[in-house]
Amino acid sequence: MTDPGPIPPFLDRRPLVGTYTMLSCFENICQYQAYRRYVVRDIKFVPTPASEYGNEVHTAFEHRIGGGKPLPEKMQQWEPLAQPFDGRGAQVELKIGLTKDGVPCGYFDNNVVRWRVKVDTLVLNPDKTFAYLCDWKTGNSKYEDPFELAIGAMHVHALYPSLQKIAGQYAWLRDNRLGQSHDLTDTNATWQKASAILGKMEAAKASGEWPKRQSPLCAHCDVLDCENNKRPQSH
């Protein structure tokens, strides 16, 4: 069977499903790249050594914190970051879906899911009034974007409405340190911000206008047929 190719925009009625990576791509990187990745969906993800290493590290922490399996020998320097979660009932690689109204639903429930997140590590206090999120990062710690943590908190709060306080941190593994502690309690503000970006994407989808943005990131973009692409081509 031949691949029918992407759905023509005027026939594509699939709703957008909000994720941090999609919102960030549209808002901070390039609207046209977001269109190709998340609307047309014709840009295939190609694993890189960095992404494969990131997956390996996340799996190691999932097994260490969620199952008590020791970290691999080459990751033992991060044991002090994992040890505080022992005995606290931490949830790992928690997948949460929300409906358009912010009601929890199945992560893969394509009929109703409109928001998705995967929380690396979540700890709740016994009466579920406080939550702490930790996101394991293998990349550069030069710039922290707490919006990613806030999106996670938004989903967690929907799942546990009794929460009164939510905090979160990035764990920058390259530097072997925790980042700044962020207050993520105002999930209503996060919902408003995320919904506004998703609304702009829905408007762009309706109009068919997805402006291209030139930036140094064009040298790393997978949209190879864009005239602004500066990524070295292999022959």
DSSP secondary structure string, 140-190?
--S---HHHHHHHHHHHHHH-TT--EEEEEEEETTTTEE---EE---HHHH
Q: For residue 126, what pLDDT band results from cuts at 50, 70 and 90?
A: very high
Average per-residue pLDDT for the chain = 93
Given this model, what pLDDT does residue 5 score? 53
3-12, 28-37, 159-168, 187-196: least confidently modelled range: 3-12
CB 101 within 8 A of CB 83: no
Q: What is the pTM of this model?
A: 0.91
pLDDT digits (tens, 9 = 90+) for 165-179: 999 999 999 999 999
pLDDT digits (tens, 9 = 90+) for 219-230: 989 898 999 998
CB 37 within 8 A of CB 29: no
